[in-house]
Every structure is written in structure tokens, then in C-alpha cells.
């Protein structure tokens, strides 16, 4: 039962909820992981889905910054938080084909329209996220998408073997079911302007057009036939257009986009059509074989193995799929004959960054070598096309060719115009774009609530921040040996079955998911040492049982005369615990209990061992309130 409720600054999360603090949308990951361990899958889905309108997609492709901050990683390996999210979304998310009315169950409210129109330019993750939250707040939202399909780089850039197109469609349909209107083949600057939107009655605009222009590499041979830009290549492949690659392909770049390109062109090229019985399936497989037909794929990158910005797992999977990586090599020139690519010359890279950490690669002359190639694909970064911005729009652009915004609100220099995602911050992860969309929705709501009389949503808005509900956990316990469990690998498709668009990652079954979830250290639960007479009425008898039983040796008892503390800690001890280390009471006899929170694995053994009940376990439930 909850004992108290208090509001704290979001920075408080960094210490007490590291995985939640690391998540750009502040998903309470530890909570849904614990619910999975208990087999309470529907509740776990609610926790994962409520802050994230693209939870099912993130369960497949999220960069999982939460795992990098997971305290279990300090013990051995972090909990597979993203894999566990996929597990629960497959049971209750859009891919489960459960009725879309489940959104009402998640949010516990009926949307009341306020008849205020908001335009979202761009149907990628940032735009979809913004539209989703604004629709839940009652706004009439229209998404303007320049392509024939929505999804942005989720649909046009991420290969299908990582993210099924049907899953994207279902996720978008769930958002449209809230009353959001989608207009495809509607590009800003080509089909409409900002002035047009204002004249049509849109009272606010969120710009989320992404960064769909590949950066150019100005080297000899860049204009030869057979040279592609990564974004254009992936866009054509994902829209179903045939791309002639030849047998030998070189990909330039070391980021995740470069990895995606390299793995895409290296998909299995030989398929036994005779084993395919359904004609429709045969056509699908044949078309996939035509798209992904390179026999030899090389990836050239400036960085060394430990410097590559791509994730370790992505690199390992690329190597498994026959991609040859050439680290510490830079582009020298593209070689051609009769206007067609025949090879790619590289040169050894001595360093990527200068002493100030600025990108400034240095090369060693005389170390050139040539890789035979039919196709060269450049994956060296993307930028946005902002040529549509007119002076009368009042939208400022930065020297980096991004839209200038206030990072706290995402407001541009033009009143009522907001921008987020790649167009404001440059290419980043999908979850960052989702977070931008949510922040934009909050800012737009605050702006319109004060300018158009739009009603406030029916949620607790009285104070911004993090709402903490404190619970005393009377019967806290952990299963024996949870701290020794090894990370459960996420099942993947065998190498010889990774054909065309076939999925690489297969996901956990129930037994695997619950076993992996049981590795969580429950960071939100802490040991509480009560003072004499406080709550329990008991007084510590200094038996040392808690010190003896602690498996991580993170508890210690120290007499006051042996305690060494700085001025700040001395002040805390004196004001909060009546312990005086210096001055008139310096010769006083007493004992101080010290606990290393970083080493604690929340086993609860100290609380169970305490003979007088001075030690209890206290846990927290966290809810992020919406600022206005």
C-alpha cells in the first residue's frame, strides 16, 4: 500500500531509476520487466505502451539506451530490456491483432475533441508520436507525408529483415484510429506552404520531415555509374524498386546506416524455388532474391573495431552474414572504366579525431589499396532538405542545416511552429524522435491552451515532474540464485535461413522471457534503516547480522571514532542523524552503518536477517506528469 506521494526533479531518476532515466521517453522499464517475471504480461504491456506510441516498433529496433545504464551490466550483462519489450508487445501490442480499442484500456480515458486543428509535417516516428499525443489531448491532427506511405525512415530506411512492414502499418493504424488524418504524397514546398496551413485554420505546426538527403563524398569517381547514396538506395529497395548491384559491392561508412546497407545487399542470393509450394510465396521470394543479390560485400570505415559507432550486435550479425569489414581505411578514389565503377581505392586512416575530439581524419600516404567493385554505396551521413523555407515563414536555420529550436520546448523562431527529430538534431535513433514528438505535443498543448482557449486534458497537470509513490514491501523476496543467472540470448534465425527479407531476430518465448526478466536487480527497491523508535519501535542491537549475510559485502558498521567524512557528509550526519564527528562530542561512543548502494543487488537478505525489524525494503512506483 502506498505510504506517500511526492514530486521530484527528473534528475532524481539517474540514481534511483537508471534505465528509466536513460530512456528518452522515460519508460519505466524495470517495472515492466518485473511484471514479466511475475507472468503479469498485460500489465507489463500497459507500462511499456503508455509512454511510447511506437512500443511495438521499438521492441524490434530500439537502440536501447536503457540497457547501457542497466545496473545489472555492472555485475555481468545488462537485462535484455528491448527483447522483453518485444515479448510483451507481441502478446498485447498491435502485432497481436487485438482490437485497437485497447488504447482506451491503456490510457483509461475517452478522447474529447476540442476542434482545434494542428498540422504535423512528416509521418516518421517524431511526427507519429506528436500526432498520437495531441489526439489523446483532443486536437484535430493532420499528418502531411511527402511519400506514398507513412513511417519515414522506419519504412524507407530500416530494412524489412529488421522491421516488418506490416508491423509499421499496424502501428500507424493504431494512431490513426484516434482520429488522426493522414495525407500522403503531400510535400511541404511542393504541394503546400506554411502560409497555406495557416490559411486553412491550423493553429500550430510541428515540422518533422527527417533527414533524407545523403551527404556527398567529394572524391574522384563519385559521379560514375554504380555509385549510390545510402538513403536513396534503401528508399528504393524498401519501396520495391529493383536496384542493379552487380556481384561486388563496397559500402563506405561505419555507422548503423552503413551496417544496414551492407547487410541488405549481402542477403542470400540462391533460393530453391522447387521447395516453395505456394505461387504467391514463390513470387515474394523471387523478388527478394532479385533485390538482394551481391555475392561479395565489403564495408570500409575510418574507425577501428572499438571505435565504430554501430552497435556491437549489428557488427557481429553483419560479419555472420558474409560482410567483410575493413577498419581504419578511408576513401581515396573510385575507379571506373567506360563510365562504370570497377573498383574502390582505400588508404590507411591514422586517426579519426584530433586532440580536441573534433572529426579530423588523418591518412598515411603510400598505403593505398584497391578493392574490386561493381557498386559503391556511400553511407556517410544524412541532412535535411530545407529549401522550401520562405523568408515570410520566419523559421531560422542553423549553420548545420537544421531548423533552429529551443531545446526545452522545440519551438522555432516562428510563433506556433515547432520542429523535432532529425530535422532539428540531425540523424539520431528512433526512440529519440519519439521523445521529440511527445515533447512537441506537450509544448503545442501549452501554447494553444493559452492562445485558443483549448481545454486542458483530463489528467493530473498541477505540477510538472516525476510523481513518486512510495511502498513498504512487507513480503519482499527474490528467487534463489537470481544474481548468478546468465543473460538469455535472444533467439535468431540460422544463417542459412536469412533469405531476402526473412527476420533475423525471432524473439523470446514465455519461459525465456521470464528467466531473463528474473535477472533484474530491482533498482527501484531499497533497504531502509530506521532509527530507534521510528516506525518499528525497535532499536538496532548492533548484532552485525546484516553485515555478515550481505552477499556483496556492501554493508559495514563503523564506530564514530573511525569514521572519516568530508564537510558535506558531516553536515548531513549532524542535521539528519544527530551524529557529530567533530567538536565537543568528538569523544562520544557510537556506531554508524554504511551502505554502498552501487554494489547492492536488492536481495533483501539483510531485512530478513534483522532480528528486531530495523531494516525494511521500500519500493517506488514512478509516473511522469505532463508539464503545461
Distance of CA 193 to the CA centre of its chain: 32
The answer to whether 373 and 343 are in contact (CB under 8 A) is: yes
Q: Could you give the C-alpha distances from 436 to 175, 208, 420, 428, in angstroms and in order?
A: 17, 9, 5, 11
User: Do residue 279 and residue 402 come from a single domain?
Assistant: no
> For residue 465, is pLDDT > 60?
no
The stretch 509-528 carries a mean pLDDT of 90
CATH of the domain at 23: 1.10.1060
Give the structural domain span for 446.
Answer: 111-212+384-451
Whether 361 and 221 map to the same domain: the answer is yes
Read off the pLDDT of each residue in 133-149 and give the average, rounded to a whole number.
93
Please give the residue that has the higher pLDDT: either 612 or 572: 612
Residues 33 and 524 sit within 8 Å (Cβ to Cβ): no
Boundary residue ending a domain (346, 364, 383): 383
Query: 356 pLDDT band (50/70/90 cuts)?
Result: confident
Choose among 157, 206, 144: nearest CA to 410.
206
| Segment holding 250, helix H or strand E | strand 248-252
In a domain? residue 331: yes
Q: What CATH number corresponds to the domain at position 168?
A: 3.50.50.60
Residues 228 and 356 in one domain: yes
Residue 173 lies in a domain: yes
459 pLDDT higher than 80: no
Q: Indicate whether 257 and 139 sit together in one domain.
A: no
pLDDT of residue 531: 59
* Domain match, 256 and 286 both: yes
Each residue's pLDDT tens digit, 90-121: 998 888 866 555 666 666 666 678 889 999 99
Does residue 560 sit within a domain? no
Q: How confident is the model at residue 607 (pLDDT cuts 50, 70, 90)?
A: confident
Q: What pLDDT is stored for residue 128 in this prediction? A: 96
pLDDT computed for residue 578 by the predictor:
67
pLDDT at 620: 73
Q: What is the pLDDT of residue 3?
A: 46
Shared domain check, 398 and 371: no
- Which has the closest alpha carbon to 225: 241, 248, 245, 252? 245
CB 412 within 8 A of CB 598: no
Q: How many domains does one find in the chain? A: 3
pLDDT tens readout for residues 249-262: 888 876 555 555 56
Mean pLDDT (whole number) for 64-80: 88
Contacts of 43 by beta carbon, 8 Å cutoff, 6+ apart = 32, 35
Specify whether 242 is located in the same domain as 204. Answer: no
Higher model confidence: residue 540 or residue 551?
551
Could you tell me the pLDDT band of residue 299, with boundaries at 50, 70 and 90? confident
- The helix (H) or strand (E) run that includes residue 425 is helix 422-425
Query: Could you give the CA distance from residue 175 to residue 73 in angstroms, rounded to a whole number?
Result: 35
pLDDT at position 284, please? 24
Residues 401-416 have pLDDT tens digits of 889 999 999 999 999 9
Examine residue 206 and state whether it is found in any structural domain, yes or no. Answer: yes
Q: What is the pLDDT of residues 579-592, one digit of tens each?
A: 666 654 555 567 77
Q: Confidence class of residue 282 from pLDDT cuts 50, 70 and 90?
A: very low
pTM of this structure: 0.80
DSSP 86-147: HHHHHHHSGGGT--TTHHHHHH---------EEEEE--SHHHHHHHHHHHHTT-EEEEE-SS
Is 317 a residue whose pLDDT tops 60? yes
Determine, yes or no, domain membership for 620. no
What pLDDT score was predicted for residue 126? 95
**Cα(424)–Cα(383) distance, integer angstroms:** 10
Last residue of a domain, one of 420, 451, 482: 451
pLDDT exceeds 50 at position 542: yes
Torsion of CA 560, 566, 572, 573, to 10 degrees: 0
Q: Say whether both 268 and 354 belong to one domain.
A: yes
Looking at per-residue pLDDT, the higher value among 230 and 340 belongs to 340
Amino acid at each position: 500500500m502506498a505510504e506517500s506521494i511526492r514530486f521530484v526533479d527528473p534528475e532524481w531518476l539517474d540514481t534511483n531509476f537508471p534505465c528509466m532515466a536513460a530512456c528518452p521517453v522515460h519508460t519505466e522499464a524495470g517495472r515492466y520487466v518485473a511484471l514479466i517475471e511475475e507472468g503479469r504480461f498485460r500489465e507489463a504491456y500497459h507500462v511499456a505502451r503508455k509512454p511510447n506510441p511506437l512500443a511495438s516498433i521499438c521492441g524490434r529496433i530500439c537502440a536501447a539506451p536503457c540497457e547501457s545504464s542497466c545496473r545489472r551490466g555492472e555485475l555481468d550483462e545488462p537485462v535484455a530490456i528491448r527483447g522483453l519489450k518485444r515479448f510483451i508487445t507481441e502478446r498485447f501490442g498491435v502485432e497481436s491483432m487485438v482490437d485497437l480499442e485497447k488504447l482506451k484500456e491503456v490510457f483509461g480515458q475517452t478522447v474529447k475533441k476540442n476542434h482545434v486543428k494542428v498540422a504535423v509535417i512528416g509521418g516518421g516516428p517524431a511526427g507519429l508520436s506528436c500526432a498520437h499525443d495531441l489526439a489523446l489531448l483532443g486536437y484535430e491532427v493532420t499528418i502531411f507525408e511527402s511519400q506514398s506511405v507513412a513511417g519515414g525512415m522506419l519504412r524507407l530506411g530500416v530494412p524489412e529483415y529488421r522491421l516488418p512492414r506490416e508491423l509499421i502499418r499496424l502501428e500507424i493504424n493504431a494512431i490513426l484510429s484516434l482520429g488522426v488524418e493522414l495525407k500522403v504524397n503531400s510535400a511541404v514546398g511542393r504541394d503546400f506552404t506554411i502560409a497555406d496551413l495557416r490559411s486553412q485554420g491550423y493553429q500550430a505546426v510541428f515540422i518533422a520531415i527527417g533527414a533524407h538527403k545523403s551527404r556527398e563524398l567529394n572524391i574522384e569517381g563519385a559521379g560514375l555509374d554504380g555509385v549510390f547514396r545510402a538513403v536513396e538506395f534503401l528508399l528504393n529497395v524498401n519501396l520495391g524498386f529493383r536496384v542493379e548491384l552487380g556481384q561486388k559491392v563496397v559500402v563506405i561508412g561505419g555507422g548503423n546506416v552503413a551496417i544496414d546497407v551492407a547487410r541488405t545487399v549481402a542477403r542470400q542470393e540462391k533460393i530453391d524455388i522447387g521447395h516453395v509450394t505456394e505461387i504467391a510465396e514463390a513470387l515474394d521470394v523471387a523478388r527478394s532474391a532479385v533485390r538482394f543479390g551481391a555475392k561479395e560485400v565489403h564495408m570500409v570505415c575510418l574507425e577501428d573495431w572499438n571505435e565504430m559507432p554501430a552497435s556491437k550486435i549489428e557488427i557481429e550479425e553483419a560479419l555472420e552474414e558474409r560482410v567483410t569489414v575493413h577498419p581504419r581505411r578511408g576513401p581515396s578514389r573510385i575507379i571506373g572504366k567506360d563510365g562504370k565503377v570497377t573498383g574502390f581505392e582505400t588508404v590507411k586512416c591514422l586517426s579519426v579525431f584530433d586532440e580536441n575530439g573534433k572529426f579530423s581524419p588523418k591518412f598515411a600516404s603510400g598505403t593505398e589499396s584497391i578493392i574490386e567493385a561493381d557498386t559503391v554505396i556511400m553511407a556517410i551521413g544524412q541532412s535535411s532538405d530545407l529549401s522550401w523555407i520562405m523568408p515570410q515563414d520566419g523559421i531560422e536555420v542553423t549553420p548545420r542545416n537544421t531548423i533552429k529550436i529551443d531545446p526545452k520546448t522545440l519551438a522555432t523562431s516562428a510563433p506556433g511552429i515547432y520542429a523535432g527529430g532529425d530535422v532539428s538534431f540531425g540523424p539520431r535513433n528512433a526512440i529519440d524522435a519519439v521523445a521529440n514528438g511527445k515533447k512537441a505535443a506537450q509544448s503545442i498543448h501549452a501554447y494553444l491552451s493559452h492562445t485558443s482557449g483549448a481545454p486542458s486534458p483530463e489528467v493530473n497537470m498541477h505540477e510538472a515532474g516525476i510523481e513518486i509513490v512510495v511502498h513498504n514491501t512487507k513480503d519482499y523476496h527474490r528467487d534463489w540464485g537470481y544474481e548468478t543467472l546468465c543473460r538469455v540470448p535472444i533467439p535468431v534465425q540460422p544463417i542459412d535461413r536469412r533469405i531476402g527479407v526473412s527476420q533475423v531476430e525471432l524473439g523470446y518465448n514465455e519461459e525465456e522471457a521470464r528467466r531473463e526478466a528474473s535477472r533484474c536487480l530491482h533498482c527501484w527497491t531499497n533497504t531502509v534503516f530506521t532509527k530507534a523508535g521510528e516506525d518499528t519501535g525497535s532499536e538496532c542491537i548492533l548484532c552485525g547480522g546484516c553485515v555478515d549475510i550481505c552477499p556483496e559485502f556492501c554493508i559495514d558498521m563503523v564506530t564514530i571514532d573511525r569514521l572519516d567524512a568530508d564537510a558535506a557528509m558531516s553536515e548531513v550526519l549532524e542535521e539528519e542523524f544527530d551524529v557529530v564527528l567533530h567538536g565537543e562530542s568528538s569523544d562520544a561512543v557510537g556506531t554508524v552503518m554504511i551502505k554502498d548502494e552501487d554494489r547492492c543487488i536488492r536481495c533483501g537478505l539483510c531485512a530478513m536477517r534483522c532480528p528486531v525489524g530495523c531494516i525494511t525494503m521500500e519500493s517506488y512506483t514512478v509516473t511522469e506528469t505532463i508539464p503545461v
